[in-house]
């Protein structure tokens, strides 16, 4: 019987015979630097945008004076006004040097600036010209400017803005600024900020954005997608936001009259969309009004 041939010994191949493995291409130093620079900018740019638009960023007196006169950047004017208002609350007498400019801004063409200005003038009831400027702002075309002016006047012990305060408790009607076909709308129940888009109209290839005059919640739509509307037609109704309602109720606690109770009582209901602190304020406001009437 023949034996099987001996198996060939297993030997390791010589290193010189090992096939070369493909090497991964290495990133050049220049490309690495470009990569890290791009990543750094991606992180830095949002921060710089936030830093430049954050009204809490402290301004020096020199910056404040420059921002107040920056006609090209209305947000700079707003930033300066917010800083002045905060310094007023700390009873910083140095800000009185800018009071003439603050009063003058009551007629500034940008609504957001006038809105902030109305709030600021309520922080110091001794400010020269503030009372008179606020009274004129009661006729402002913006609901929010009128409302803020009325709230500030209460600090002066002036109830002239009662109708405007009551307006803050009512739903806002959004109308079409021009004729067109409704091509898009927000959904009912959507939370909307002041200036947020409620609907879009199209006419002759031009698209018009219809925006909310207040911060609140979309209660109802009066026009549907695909419908053609005329200028001035009602598009939607916006319920006022919590902060707006609370401030109005606080003001009526001081100056409200019996005729105002119809606007106050709906906010006493225990409903999911009425926060507890608003409901409590409505109850306290009703009591204060009735107490004033009985004395």
Share of the chain above pLDDT 90, in %: 72
Q: How many C-beta atoms lie closer than 10 Å to residue 123's C-beta? A: 20
What is the residue-wise DSSP string for 34-51? HHHHHHHHHHHHHHHHHH
Contact predicate 171/234, CB 8 Å: no
- Poorest-pLDDT segment among 25-29, 43-47, 92-96, 287-291: 43-47
pLDDT of the residue at 287: 97
pLDDT of the residue at 142: 94
CA gap 121, 107 in Å, rounded: 13
CATH architecture of the domain 46-166 equals Alpha Horseshoe (1.25)
- Is 172-240 CATH 2.40.50.100? yes
Q: Which residues pair with 216 in a beta bridge?
A: 192, 240
CA gap 89, 70 in Å, rounded: 24
Q: Answer whether residue 182 shows pLDDT above 90.
A: yes
The tens digit of pLDDT for each residue in 5-15 reads: 444 444 444 44
- Poorest-pLDDT segment among 15-24, 45-54, 142-151: 45-54
Q: For 214, how many CA atoms within 13 A lie in the half-sphere containing its CB?
A: 29
Q: What are phi and psi of 256, to 5 degrees?
A: -65, 150
CA gap 275, 268 in Å, rounded: 10
Give the residue-averaged pLDDT of 81-90.
91
Domain boundaries of the chain, sorted by first residue: 46-166, 172-240, 241-295
Q: Answer whether residue 98 shows pLDDT above 90.
A: yes
Closest by Cα among 251, 278, 247 to 265: 278
Structure-token pair, residue 230 = 């005329």
The tens digit of pLDDT for each residue in 225-235 reads: 999 999 999 99
pLDDT of the residue at 5: 42
Write down the mean pLDDT value for the chain.
Answer: 86
Give the residue-averaged pLDDT of 97-118.
95
Residue 146 zone, left/alpha/beta (φ > 0; ψ -120 to 50; rest): alpha
Instruction: Tell which wins on pLDDT, 30 or 202.
Output: 202
Share of the chain above pLDDT 70, in %: 81
């Amino acid at each position: 019987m023949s034996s099987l041939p001996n198996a060939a010994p297993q030997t390791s191949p010589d290193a010189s015979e090992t096939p070369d493995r493909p090497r991964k291409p290495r990133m050049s130093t220049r490309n690495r630097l470009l990569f890290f620079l791009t990543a750094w900018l991606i992180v830095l740019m949002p921060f710089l945008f936030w830093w430049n638009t954050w009204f809490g960023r402290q301004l020096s007196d020199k910056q404040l004076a420059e921002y107040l006169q920056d006609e090209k950047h209305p947000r700079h004017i707003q930033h300066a006004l917010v800083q002045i208002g905060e310094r007023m609350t700390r009873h910083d007498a140095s800000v009185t040097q800018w009071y003439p400019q603050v009063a003058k801004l009551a007629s500034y063409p940008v609504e957001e600036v006038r809105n902030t200005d109305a709030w600021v003038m309520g922080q110091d009831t001794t400010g020269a010209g503030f009372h008179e400027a606020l009274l004129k702002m009661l006729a402002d075309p913006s609901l929010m400017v009128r409302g803020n002016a009325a709230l500030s006047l209460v600090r002066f012990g002036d109830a002239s803005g009662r109708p405007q305060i009551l307006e803050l408790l009512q739903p806002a009607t959004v109308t079409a600024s021009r004729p067109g076909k409704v091509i898009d709308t927000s959904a009912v129940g959507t939370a909307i900020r002041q200036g947020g888009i409620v609907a879009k109209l199209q006419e002759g290839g031009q698209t018009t954005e219809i925006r909310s005059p207040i911060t609140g919640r979309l209660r109802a739509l009066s026009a549907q997608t695909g419908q053609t509307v005329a200028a001035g037609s009602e598009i939607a109704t916006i319920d006022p936001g919590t902060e707006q309602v609370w401030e109005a109720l606080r003001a009526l606690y001081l100056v409200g009259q019996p005729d105002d109770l119809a606007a106050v009582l709906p906010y006493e209901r225990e409903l999911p969309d009425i926060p507890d602190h608003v409901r409590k304020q409505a109850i306290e406001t009703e009591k204060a009004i009735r107490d004033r009437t009985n004395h």
